[in-house]
Structures are given as C-alpha cells and as structure tokens.
Structure 1
Amino acid sequence: MKKHFLLLPVLGAALAGCPANSLKTAGSADGKPDILRAALDTTVAPGDDFFSYANGTWIKNNPIPASESNMGIGKKVQDEVYARLRQTSIEAADAKAAAGSNQQKIGDFWAVGMDSVKADKLGATPLKAELDRIAAMKTAADVPGVIAHEIPLGVRALIGPRVGQDDKNSDKMVLYLRQSGLGLPNRDYYFNTDTRTKNIRAEYLKHVANTFKLLGQDEATAKTNADKVMALETALAKSSRKLEALRDPYANYHKMSIAQLNKLTPGIEWKSWLAQMEFTNVDTVIVGQPEFYQTVGQLLKTKPVADWKAYLTWRVAGSFAPTLSSQFVNENFHFYSTVLRGAKEIRPRWKRVLDMQENALGDALGQLFVKEYFKPEAKARYDTLVKNVTTAFAEHIQKLDWMSAPTKVVALDKLHKITPKVGYPDKWKDYSSLKIDRSSLAENVMRANLWDYHYELNKLGKPVDRTEWGMTPQTYNAYYNGSNNEIVLPAAAFAIPGLLDADADDALVYGYAGASTIGHELTHGFDDEGSQYDAHGNLHEWWSKEDRQRFNQRVNGIVKQFNGYTLLDSLHINGKATAGENIADLGGIVIGLDAFKKTKQYKEGKKINGLTPVQRYFLGYALGWQMHVRDESLASQLLTDVHSPAQYRVNGPMADVPAFYEAFGIKPGQKLYRPDSTRVVIW
C-alpha cells in the first residue's frame, strides 16, 4: 500500500473526546479550559519562532521522561490509552475467557508478556528451533530455504517481499520485492563519515557482538561474527537507495517475469524460492530496486556459509530480543533506544507489552475502544469537517492561476473520488486462526507475525478489498493511500489531551484536525508523489506537460526552502526527501483556513482569551506538533524520516502563508519573514 503518513509526535494510540486530568489549562470566561492560551510562551515573538511562541510554556512544563526520546502531545494521548489498554488486558487475563475468544488472546498475551521471571528463566530458548535451523546449514545453497522460513516469522532477512496493489493497476494484488535486510536504520548509517554516525557504527558492532555473547559465543567468536555481519550488511547498504530516491514511484517500479528476475540475479531460482515462502502460482513480480537484488544474487554466490550463519543468527536474535530475557531486552534497548535515540532508561515493561499486543491484536482491541470512547456525536463532527475541508480544497483548485482548465477538471475528479474513512472500520480482522497462549512472549509474537504474513499472502489473486484499514482506530496517526485514493483518519487522530471534544472551539479543531490531519492527507493526493496517481489509484500521468512543469517549479521552491534549515551543527533537513510532507503541511494550512472561514466562529470574530479566531486557528495547527526531542533522536530523524522535525512543520509552512503574517503582524526583519517573491504557493 502506498501510504503517506501524517507523522504525529508519536505513533501511539488514543481516542477522540477523552479528557485527561494531567494537563493544566488556562480557563476562558465560560470556565472551559483553554489549552492554546496555556501553552503560549509570550516571551517569544510569533514572527521569530511561531513554534516556540505557540508551544513554549507547554514544553517547559513537560520535560522529556528518562524512558523516552521525545515528549509531545502524542505521548499525552498515548498515556491515556495505555491506561485503558492496561486495565482491559488485566481484566482479560483474569477472566477465564472461552478458548479462542479475543478476550482469551488479549489476556494470555498480556499475562505471559508481563511474566518477566518466566522470560528470564527461558532466556533464548524460544528461539532454539530457529537458531538450530541456521546452525544446521551445510553450504550457501541452504541459505535461501532458511530465509524463506524466517521472513514469515517477522525477520527482515536479506530480501523484502510484500503483497500490495499494483501501482499501475490498482485493482490487482501483486508481489513486490523491496530492498531490505539492514540492522541499522538505512544505508547512510553505513557510509556517512561525520563523528556522530561513525560512533553509531562502532556501537552497532559492539551491540551485535554482545548479542552473540548472550547466545553463548565466546568473545573472540562473537567479535568475528559481528564483523561478518557488518561486512555483509555494508554490501547490501551499498546497493540500497537513499531515502529521497525511494520516493520516485516510476523509478521504483520494475515489473518482471520470473524468467527476467532469474536473469537479473544469476544463480537464484526464484520460482522455487518463492514457493518456499508460499508464493505459489506467481508469474510476475515488481522489483523496486533491481541493483539491490543483483547484489543479493552475487552475495549468495560468493559469501561462505559461515557468514550467512552469522548474519541470520543476528537477524533472528535481534528481531526478537525485546521478547526475551532481561539481558537481551537491555542490550537491545541500549543500542536502539539509547545510542540511536537518546533515551536514558527503558520504558516500563507493561507499556512495551502493550505495544507488542497492539501489533498482534490491534483490531481486537480497537473493537473494545470505539464502542466506549468514540461517540456518535464525535464521529458526526469529523465527518462534517472532512466534507468542509474537501469543499475548500475544490475551491482552491478552481482558483489556481498556474493550472490549466483541462487539468483542473481531472484534479477535481480525483479529489471528489477520494474516499474518507473516519474513526473506525465497518468490519474487523478475524483472529480465530491465531493461536495465543502463555508459553512465551516470543512465541506469541512469532505466531502473530506468521498470522499477519498469511493474512497478506492470501490477498494475492483476489479482488482488492478497498474497505480495509491499514491502521487501528486507537492509532494516533493518519494516512493517504494512493492506490485506493483514500484518506484514513483513525479516531485517535482527533484526540486532544485534557479537553473534551465538545469543549474544543472550531478554530482549534479546524487547525488541529482540519489542517494538520484532514487537509494534510487530502493534499497528499496532490503532492510530488501522490499527484502521479490518478483518481482510480493508478500510476498514470494525468497532467499536461506544461502543468507538471509549473507544479515542479513550485515543488522545487519548497525543496530549496527546507534544504536551508540547518540543525545540530552541520545536519540539515533533506528538502527532497521531505517534500511530500512539507507540501501537505502547507496545503493543509491554507485549505483548512478557508474551510474555517465559513464557520460561525470566524464570521463573528470574537476573541477568546485575547486571541482572534484566526490566531486560534494557527495555534490549533501548532498544537498538533507540540513536542520536543533529544538530539540523538533528531539526528536519526533527519537521516531516516520523510517528515521534517516538528518545529519546522510549524515555522516552515507558516512563513509561506500571508494570512499568518496578517494575523500576527509579521514584519520584515523578523526571522520567519520571507518576501512575497520567495513564498511558496502550491495549493
């Protein structure tokens, strides 16, 4: 699925309209809380740093916990839901529910997950069968068969098969092969020469060696095997594409027959290999990065079996380390959370178990949540909000001075065919074939991964289910799916911690949900990548050549703007990699504002706590990015994420919006001020 995620401060979970007691808020004249006023830092000029002006006091009052790499509104929302998930799980564990029921599965997953004594006693025993299978390999010819066994269990080993809609025929489910198999976040970590990244590489080698030692290897053997892992992964990384290169859908689409794939990778017999992974009757595949698979073929021919044993042992142990004994858990935490993201202490076990449970049984939990926490009146409000923002977008398209009339007709057709999914799905996943028991956390996670693998595998050759959701309703996120031409807006995306939905004024809601979520996702259908898909979700050029050129000129303007933002000494935002998200942020703001201008609150123009409706709208947008992060996490984001850091998701687009200048009196000489001629205008 082609998903463009609205990366809210964390990928967590929450539900709309649920109040929290932990957030102190200023009150308005009618006694209702005003979280926008409470968050302001009026020592900062809006024209110098609107992000800090809007969120500064909240950030000062909400330091980053030692167990986290960031702190933001998403963490507050997530904590509310964690509390409910925890109570639900405890009740399920004590309920003696019917075998095979969702409640039994939730309860057993929770009970064994929380049993740290049992986990410590088991050590790496839950992985014994997989590790023995790897150790039994005699020659490199045995490697593909072992990889075919590990991938369905959730191990990212060497290759990346997945089932998805054909980018050029969205009614057909096909097999994709993507670059994969790295233990570091992406290729840049293997080659960048700055001190920060070089240190991460050194720590990674230690981490891999330490994991081998936990498996019983002596220090010398562990070090030798870690070196083998690094050499093999570096070879894979060398043929992996950079973050920005992965955003070009045409350049990452290479449909091949099995015979052509065999020719691309001499020595690999793909029909047999795919059959081992249960991909039967597959005659064509779509290869994302052919050069990567050429390297895969070369490595399978040239690397000795000892190297593959080291690599696959590491991939299995690393994949499931969080589910094993405390030694494995702590070693995994040290590298992936402390070294990479700066967390000082590990998160409570119950939160980590809830995260795994969400991945395994998300829809089962979702059914319980929406029934109690996402009320019909909240859904009705956001259904209406989607319609209003869509109408405003249509008016924007009609008024564009750079798009020709024929292309506008096609653009409007695509907009009106975008399917909005609001709150929760109409049907839920059936987990009846998934076995969950109290044997071990690792085994439950492996079985859940295998269930999910078969769930996706079974879509091959069948009609596309366009009603399916790719997120659970308790997920604090949203996405645009180009292949379905849809926006998916989970209930949690509308949650405002500390505030009942009924107490949130339209200005706040249109900024927070209308701009940063709904307008943002709608705009993804027309960003640098999404605009290449037509109304039916097919990769197809529906623009005139001249319109595309004019559009690309504007995209180049936003790329240049964000390339100019430097953070953490020499690191800067990757304007090309983040272009789609930056376009969507800017589009969401201007479209959401026009939708808000039709409301009673805007027309009356009354101030609340000294803030005009338009000021509150912009502050509502900034509320969605109310967060701060550790330097280590920020550095990682700049290398691996297509989303700009939160501060620049506010300050960047605001600097391009004339109504923002008017609302806050932005003048030349202030840091955010950009002359008219340099302001980016797209949608």
Structure 2
Amino acid sequence: MKKSLLLLPLLAAAVTGCPSNSLKTATTADKPDILHAALDTTVAPGDDFFSYANGTWIKNNPIPASESNMGIGKKVQDEVYARLRQTSIEAAGAQNATPGSNPQKIGDFWAVGMDSVKADRLGATPLKPELDRIAAMKTVAEVPGVIGHEIPLGVNALIGPRVGQDDKNSDKMALYLRQAGLGLPNRDYYFNTDSRTKNIRAEYVKHVANTFKLLGQDATTAQANAAKVMALETTLAKSSRKLEALRDPYANYHKMSIAQLDKLTPGIDWKTWLGQMGGTSVDTVIVGQPEFYQTVGQLLKTKPLDDWKAYLAWHVAHEYAPTLSGPFVDENFHFYGTVLRGATAIRPRWKRVLDMQENALGDALGQLFVKEYFKPEAKARYDTLVKNVVSAFADHIQKVDWMSAPTKVVALDKLHKITPKVGYPDKWKDYSALTIDRSSLAANVMHANQWQYNYELNKLGKPVDRTEWGMTPQTYNAYYNGSNNEIVLPAAAFAIPGLLDADADDALVYGYAGASTIGHELTHGFDDEGSQYDAHGNLHEWWSKDDRKRFNERVNGIVKQFNGYTLLDSLHINGKATAGENIADLGGIVIGLDAFKKTKQYKEGKKINGLTPTQRYFLGYALGWQMHVRDESLASQLLTDVHSPAQYRVNGPMADVPAFYEAFGIKPGQKLYRPDSTRVMIW
C-alpha cells in the first residue's frame, strides 16, 4: 500500500476536471506553487531532503490536539469531511427516502450516530445480549460456540478467519485462519522491555479494568478480570509471529483438511466450530501460523471458564466502546488515542461517525462521491498516466543487468498482465440485505459487521470476482493485489489539497501520483514478496535460481540500509519488515522519473520559481509524504507497520538515486550522501 496510515479521506478539487490527458504547466506567478511554498531553505537538500521539501509546510501546520499526526492525507480528509457531513445531514432530514434505499441507510446511520443523548441514555445496553450470552456459559465446551457468534460481529476473539483467494490457486476462494485475538497492536507490545512499551502494558491492564468497571464490575473484580485477560493474551502473543515473519507467503501457507486441522489442535471439533461461524460447507482451510492454533487448542483445554468469560466480555466491549455512551468513548480514547498515539483531545463526534459510516456503507458513499467529484475526463487522464508509467517500467526491466533474458521475458509478461483499476469500480456493492435504522449506533455497526462477514463468507465455492475492489474510491490510499495481479488506485489517491489540475505541472504530478502511487504499486508486483506470485496471481517461483539470488542480494542491501536508521533514542526501523515498501518507494521514484522524462516539461527544461523540472519531480514525490507524527504514534508505527516513517520514505530512497544527487548537487560529507558502492539499485 502507498500510505503508512489508512485514512478516510475523499477526493478534493485536484481531480475534478482537467479536460485533457496531459497537465497544464504552471508558468505564471499568479498560479499557486505548493512545492515552492513548502520549502525550508534553511535545510540543505543533501542533509535532509524531507525537511527541505516539507519543512515550512510542517511548521505552518501543527498537529491538532485530536490527531496523532498531521499531513497531506489529513488535509484531503478535512476538505471532504464537510461534503460528507452535508450529504449525511440532507439524507437524515429527507422525509421521502425509500425504506431500504442507500439514502435511507446513510441518513439513519448519521442521525442515530449523532444522537449522543440517546447513546448516553442507552449506556452499555446495546451490548447486553452479547454480554449475557458470555455470562450464561456453564462450561468451557461452550466457549467456541460463543466465539463463533461474536466473530461475525467484528469481535477480535481468539481466532482470525478470513476469506481470500488461494495463494497457490487464485481462481479459488479459500478460508484462511490467521493469528488474532490480541488487544494490543501486536506481539511485541507484550514482551519488549523498553520503558515506553512497559508503560503501555501497565496502562493497558488499567484500561481493561476501567472498562470492566464501566460494565458494572466492582474494582476488585475488574482488576482480577483484567489480569486474566492480560495473561491469556500474553500466551497468545507468545505463539504469534513477528511482523517480518508474516511477510513470507510460503511460510504462512499451510493448506489442511478439516481432519488435519483437528489433528493439529486436539480437542477442537473444527467442523462444528466453523459451522457455528457460518462455514458449514468448508472442508479445507489454509492455516497461516500452525503454532498459534496449537496454542489455541491448548488454551481451550487448560484455561478455566472465568478466564474465557473475562476475555470475551473485554473484546466485545473493546470492539463497540466507540459506539456507546460518553464514559466508554472517553476510556477507549484515553488508551488507544492518547497512550498509544499521543492525541490529547478526542476528534469531533461527527468525524467519528463519518468514519464508522464509511466502514458500514463505503460503496454507497462512493457512488455519490464519484458522481460529483471524479469526472470521466479525470479518469481518462489517470488511465493515461498509468500507461506511461507501465511503459517506463518495461524499459527498466529490459535494461537491468542483474536479470537474465529468459526471466525478463516472464517479468515483462507479468507486468503487462497487471490490471490497473483507476478511480472507482464498474459495479457497486448491494446493501439491500443490510438493515440500518435509528435504534442505536452500536446496533447499526453490528448489523454492518455481520453483513460484511456474510458478504465475504458467501464467496466460498463461487467463482472469483476479479472486478471487485478492496477499497472505496474515497480512500486516500492504493494497493497491489498479488492474487489478482492488479493495482487499485482509488480516485482520492490522486488528490492534492487546495490545488486545481490546471495549476499542477507535470513534474509535480509525475512525482506525486506517478512515482509515490502508480510506480510504487507496480513495483509491489516485483518486490521481495510480490515477486513470488506469477502473472496469474499464483504463489509460484518464476525466477531462475541465479536471478533470485542476485535479486535477494539487492534486497539485503535495502534491508541493511533501513536497519541503520534509528529514531526516538533507541528504536530503529525494521529493515526486513519494511523491505517491500522500501523497494516499492525506490522503484516508484526511478520508474516515475523515466516516465516524466518523456513529457514536454522535462524536455523544455524551464525553471518554475527557480526549480528545474527534475527538482520539482523529486519535490512532487516528497509532497506525498508531507506529514509529521507524534512520538507515541511513531513508536507504535515502528513496531506494527510495514511502512517506514514518512521522513525515511523520502530520505531513504533518495539517497540511492543518482539523478537526485545530480539534481540537487549532493556532495560527499552531506548526511544523505552514500558512495556509489553502497547505493541500492533494483529497478
């Protein structure tokens, strides 16, 4: 994925209508130049290109108290929130919305979501049926059945079923079982011994206890139950794989029959359990982490019933706390917003409701969005930009000296079979089976989670729908899907806040959209993970042994480079976990640059505000990572995210690109300078 944070922005005015497929070049002083305005010329580009490119913008855009970061994605998001808010208000106030229609559902979701008085009056009442179900258990034998009921409601309870294409047979949908069940972001939070993480663990136990108090437990009982939750989760975490280990597709692929799964986890009747989750016809599963499920089996035999009651009640409350009364919302924010992310004030209720509405009715909102904000001519323009970047990538594959001729043929075949999905899907999800009303916000979120679960489960046994999108068009992000061999580029991924297309020159857009989005996602098909999938989306080795060896040597170079970056005193970037994204960043930059070199602007070489076209291209790339982050959020990202922090997504790859050195006159002795022999070159 392009972005390190999954945001909920929609498209701003940036793509609302350049009628041609090429961008107009800004040449006059009366047009805005956001690249020049963002510069901090007190910083040498050869010492810290990220700060040189974005420093003034960062100084002028402090992080709001309610946010853990501030960046270009937030600006896009804010521009659109107002539009979504008005759309929702109008839908809520409509007197003639057809029952069951998308406008009715959008309006009712908004109306009850914004009714904080009703939420406060209801308290935890919307959760009572689920909490009663947990409390009514008489034996541990009932635990799987209750979990089977909670998982479709979105509760992260013990196991992680997911429907997806079979990695080794992309024409088939399969049921995956992944490690899951933790309340902290990942396993490292349970074991790291630095003071920051130890404090988070202590605060987490307090948070769980406080949540139990809100559910009506006395202080002693709440503390005892919080300790039970922590102990059970710590055991699960011990059998969970580290972030970097989850990126090996072969090591996380273990296809098993139900009988083999039963043998892996003695005492669990998987046919019955999967049936309780709706998977009555499942006869084969793909287990990601077998050791985790062995631990699940052991825990179901050894942990007493009261521990399971505490664990499940906590996870139900945790999942739905943001939909409940003020005390639940505030307690949830204190830990997950302040302790983990560093925000000091909760976001306005209307923004939080819009986030939930997006998760529940994203395609319904998307239909309204693209109709108004992503015109056909804009889509045609970005279709053309994709073609230009693909052409440049083909040239790179043909010219690299480390790949043999036979493997190049296969690589080019895979590249040309990548399906680009630009802007929005050709067909939208049908929400007719989803019930949304004004009973409670929690009920609507439950209904939406159940609907989404059923939607995914119903894919089993049916042909793969390769036209489906995994993101809505109003999402400021993009992705490469190895199983479909596709890049998906939502309309919002091209948004530049406050800038019209007519005022954006080719250099800016080729750096911002061509490199950091399109080229980045194309390169994911050939990074250390994506390169293991063939042109048809199957996990299959299509490289020669020597080619793979030479490729891995280059991957090891970028791993070593990023391992060397230390932040926040002692934390460092995990070079192995972030390798795929770092490869895609570097690839996107060099491929996008060659695509840009074919434009009129590059060939003419005219400066704008003293900046050459090539300099503006690199600044356009840096614009995509224009953001700053609170220390708490940065620390969390280093432990949980396969993306490097924004500053290093700029400075890291730039230090490997010879054209960057030439464009800005980078010399030995400057902080970003790397000798030729240490620079990483892959594509």
| Aligned-partner SS, 1:590 | helix
Instruction: Please say if residues 16 and 494 of structure 1, whose CA atoms lie closer than 8 Å, have aligned partners that are also in contact.
Output: no
Instruction: Call closer, same or farther: CA 1:542–1:278 in 2, change over 3 Å.
Output: same
Instruction: Please say if residues 562 and 652 of structure 2, whose CA atoms lie closer than 8 Å, have aligned partners that are also in contact.
Output: yes
Q: CA deviation at 1:503?
A: 1.6
Query: Take 1:12 and 1:339, find their aligned partners in 2: how far apart are those partners?
Result: 32
2:203 maps to which residue? 203
Q: CA deviation at 1:572?
A: 0.2
Could you list the per-position Cα deviations for residues 232-284 of structure 1 after superposition, in whole angstroms to 9, with x for gaps in the alignment?
00000000000000000000000001010000000000001000111012111
Query: Take 2:22 and 2:632, find their aligned partners in 1: how far apart are those partners?
Result: 27
| Aligned-partner SS, 2:208 | helix
1:475 maps to which residue? 475
Query: Take 2:277 and 2:345, find their aligned partners in 1: how far apart are those partners?
Result: 39
Instruction: Call closer, same or farther: CA 1:526–1:5 in 2, change over 3 Å.
Output: farther
Instruction: Call closer, same or farther: CA 1:216–1:74 in 2, change over 3 Å.
Output: same
Q: CA deviation at 1:26?
A: 11
Query: Take 1:259 and 1:535, find their aligned partners in 2: how far apart are those partners?
Result: 33
Query: Take 1:604 and 1:674, find their aligned partners in 2: how far apart are those partners?
Result: 30
Instruction: Please say if residues 419 and 487 of structure 1, whose CA atoms lie closer than 8 Å, have aligned partners that are also in contact.
Output: yes
Instruction: Call closer, same or farther: CA 1:652–1:2 in 2, change over 3 Å.
Output: closer
Instruction: Please say if residues 14 and 80 of structure 1, whose CA atoms lie closer than 8 Å, have aligned partners that are also in contact.
Output: no
Instruction: Call closer, same or farther: CA 1:9–1:577 in 2, change over 3 Å.
Output: farther
Q: CA deviation at 1:377?
A: 1.9
1:57 maps to which residue? 56
Instruction: Call closer, same or farther: CA 1:9–1:108 in 2, change over 3 Å.
Output: closer
Instruction: Call closer, same or farther: CA 1:15–1:87 in 2, change over 3 Å.
Output: farther
Instruction: Call closer, same or farther: CA 1:17–1:183 in 2, change over 3 Å.
Output: farther
Could you list the per-position Cα deviations for residues 541-599 of structure 1 after superposition, in whole angstroms to 9, with x for gaps in the alignment?
00000000000000000000000000000000000000000000000000000000000
Instruction: Please say if residues 4 and 479 of structure 1, whose CA atoms lie closer than 8 Å, have aligned partners that are also in contact.
Output: no
1:626 maps to which residue? 626
Query: Take 2:180 and 2:512, find their aligned partners in 1: how far apart are those partners?
Result: 35
Question: Which sits farther off after the overlay, 374-383 or 255-264?
Answer: 374-383
Q: CA deviation at 1:21?
A: 25
Is 1:47 the counterpart of 2:69 in the alignment? no
Q: CA deviation at 1:29?
A: 2.4
| Aligned-partner SS, 2:499 | coil
Instruction: Call closer, same or farther: CA 1:502–1:18 in 2, change over 3 Å.
Output: closer
| Aligned-partner SS, 1:178 | strand
Query: Take 1:455 and 1:529, find their aligned partners in 2: how far apart are those partners?
Result: 28
Percent of aligned positions that are identical: 90
Instruction: Please say if residues 9 and 626 of structure 1, whose CA atoms lie closer than 8 Å, have aligned partners that are also in contact.
Output: no
Could you list the per-position Cα deviations for residues 371-413 of structure 1 after superposition, in whole angstroms to 9, with x for gaps in the alignment?
0101122111111000000000000000010000000000000
Instruction: Please say if residues 13 and 500 of structure 2, whose CA atoms lie closer than 8 Å, have aligned partners that are also in contact.
Output: no
Instruction: Call closer, same or farther: CA 1:516–1:403 in 2, change over 3 Å.
Output: same
| Aligned-partner SS, 1:372 | helix
Query: Take 2:5 and 2:504, find their aligned partners in 1: how far apart are those partners?
Result: 25
Query: Take 1:671 and 1:7, find their aligned partners in 2: how far apart are those partners?
Result: 32
Query: Take 2:5 and 2:398, find their aligned partners in 1: how far apart are those partners?
Result: 27
Query: Take 1:495 and 1:273, find their aligned partners in 2: how far apart are those partners?
Result: 45
Instruction: Please say if residues 4 and 641 of structure 2, whose CA atoms lie closer than 8 Å, have aligned partners that are also in contact.
Output: no
| Aligned-partner SS, 1:4 | coil
| Aligned-partner SS, 1:27 | coil
Q: CA deviation at 1:215?
A: 0.2
Query: Take 1:342 and 1:5, find their aligned partners in 2: how far apart are those partners?
Result: 15
Instruction: Please say if residues 21 and 498 of structure 1, whose CA atoms lie closer than 8 Å, have aligned partners that are also in contact.
Output: no
Could you list the per-position Cα deviations for residues 343-397 of structure 1 after superposition, in whole angstroms to 9, with x for gaps in the alignment?
0100000000000000000000000010010112211111100000000000000
Could you list the per-position Cα deviations for residues 611-635 of structure 1 after superposition, in whole angstroms to 9, with x for gaps in the alignment?
1000000000000000000000000
Could you list the per-position Cα deviations for residues 116-152 of structure 1 after superposition, in whole angstroms to 9, with x for gaps in the alignment?
0000000000000000000000010000000000000
Instruction: Please say if residues 165 and 464 of structure 2, whose CA atoms lie closer than 8 Å, have aligned partners that are also in contact.
Output: yes
Instruction: Call closer, same or farther: CA 1:575–1:20 in 2, change over 3 Å.
Output: farther
| Aligned-partner SS, 1:628 | strand
Instruction: Please say if residues 25 and 503 of structure 2, whose CA atoms lie closer than 8 Å, have aligned partners that are also in contact.
Output: no
Instruction: Please say if residues 577 and 642 of structure 1, whose CA atoms lie closer than 8 Å, have aligned partners that are also in contact.
Output: yes
Instruction: Please say if residues 10 and 475 of structure 2, whose CA atoms lie closer than 8 Å, have aligned partners that are also in contact.
Output: no
Query: Take 2:258 and 2:186, find their aligned partners in 1: how far apart are those partners?
Result: 28
Could you list the per-position Cα deviations for residues 45-80 of structure 1 after superposition, in whole angstroms to 9, with x for gaps in the alignment?
000000000000000000000000000000000001
Instruction: Please say if residues 507 and 613 of structure 1, whose CA atoms lie closer than 8 Å, have aligned partners that are also in contact.
Output: yes
Q: CA deviation at 1:502?
A: 2.4
Could you list the per-position Cα deviations for residues 659-680 of structure 1 after superposition, in whole angstroms to 9, with x for gaps in the alignment?
0000000000000000000000
Instruction: Call closer, same or farther: CA 1:195–1:9 in 2, change over 3 Å.
Output: farther
Instruction: Call closer, same or farther: CA 1:54–1:17 in 2, change over 3 Å.
Output: farther
| Aligned-partner SS, 1:33 | coil
Instruction: Call closer, same or farther: CA 1:13–1:361 in 2, change over 3 Å.
Output: farther
| Aligned-partner SS, 2:4 | strand
| Aligned-partner SS, 1:71 | strand
Query: Take 2:114 and 2:618, find their aligned partners in 1: how far apart are those partners?
Result: 43
Instruction: Call closer, same or farther: CA 1:9–1:458 in 2, change over 3 Å.
Output: closer
Instruction: Please say if residues 667 and 673 of structure 1, whose CA atoms lie closer than 8 Å, have aligned partners that are also in contact.
Output: yes
Instruction: Call closer, same or farther: CA 1:59–1:455 in 2, change over 3 Å.
Output: same
Instruction: Please say if residues 14 and 81 of structure 1, whose CA atoms lie closer than 8 Å, have aligned partners that are also in contact.
Output: no
2:528 maps to which residue? 528
Instruction: Please say if residues 510 and 592 of structure 1, whose CA atoms lie closer than 8 Å, have aligned partners that are also in contact.
Output: yes
Q: CA deviation at 1:27?
A: 9.3
| Aligned-partner SS, 2:15 | coil
Instruction: Call closer, same or farther: CA 1:277–1:443 in 2, change over 3 Å.
Output: same
Query: Take 1:86 and 1:234, find their aligned partners in 2: how far apart are those partners?
Result: 41
Query: Take 2:24 and 2:364, find their aligned partners in 1: how far apart are those partners?
Result: 33
Could you list the per-position Cα deviations for residues 423-461 of structure 1 after superposition, in whole angstroms to 9, with x for gaps in the alignment?
000000000110000000000000000000000000000
Is 1:355 the counterpart of 2:333 in the alignment? no
Instruction: Please say if residues 72 and 624 of structure 2, whose CA atoms lie closer than 8 Å, have aligned partners that are also in contact.
Output: yes
Query: Take 1:399 and 1:25, find their aligned partners in 2: how far apart are those partners?
Result: 31
Query: Take 1:335 and 1:130, find their aligned partners in 2: how far apart are those partners?
Result: 23
Instruction: Please say if residues 3 and 477 of structure 2, whose CA atoms lie closer than 8 Å, have aligned partners that are also in contact.
Output: no
Q: CA deviation at 1:15?
A: 6.5
Query: Take 2:317 and 2:257, find their aligned partners in 1: how far apart are those partners?
Result: 34
Query: Take 2:7 and 2:362, find their aligned partners in 1: how far apart are those partners?
Result: 19
Instruction: Call closer, same or farther: CA 1:21–1:185 in 2, change over 3 Å.
Output: farther
Alignment of 1:303-382 (within 5 A): 303-382=303-382
Alignment of 1:57-136 (within 5 A): 57-96=56-95, 97-136=97-136
Instruction: Please say if residues 5 and 478 of structure 1, whose CA atoms lie closer than 8 Å, have aligned partners that are also in contact.
Output: no
Q: CA deviation at 1:225?
A: 0.1
1:33 maps to which residue? 32
Could you list the per-position Cα deviations for residues 83-123 of structure 1 after superposition, in whole angstroms to 9, with x for gaps in the alignment?
11000000000012111010000000000000000000000
Instruction: Call closer, same or farther: CA 1:19–1:240 in 2, change over 3 Å.
Output: farther
Q: CA deviation at 1:647?
A: 0.1
Q: CA deviation at 1:25?
A: 16
Instruction: Please say if residues 50 and 647 of structure 2, whose CA atoms lie closer than 8 Å, have aligned partners that are also in contact.
Output: yes
TM-score (norm 1): 0.97
Instruction: Call closer, same or farther: CA 1:5–1:590 in 2, change over 3 Å.
Output: farther
Instruction: Call closer, same or farther: CA 1:92–1:19 in 2, change over 3 Å.
Output: farther
Q: CA deviation at 1:3?
A: 12
5+ residue gaps in structure 2? none
Query: Take 1:271 and 1:14, find their aligned partners in 2: how far apart are those partners?
Result: 52
Instruction: Call closer, same or farther: CA 1:214–1:471 in 2, change over 3 Å.
Output: same
Q: How many residues align?
A: 682
Instruction: Call closer, same or farther: CA 1:541–1:442 in 2, change over 3 Å.
Output: same
Query: Take 2:661 and 2:8, find their aligned partners in 1: how far apart are those partners?
Result: 25
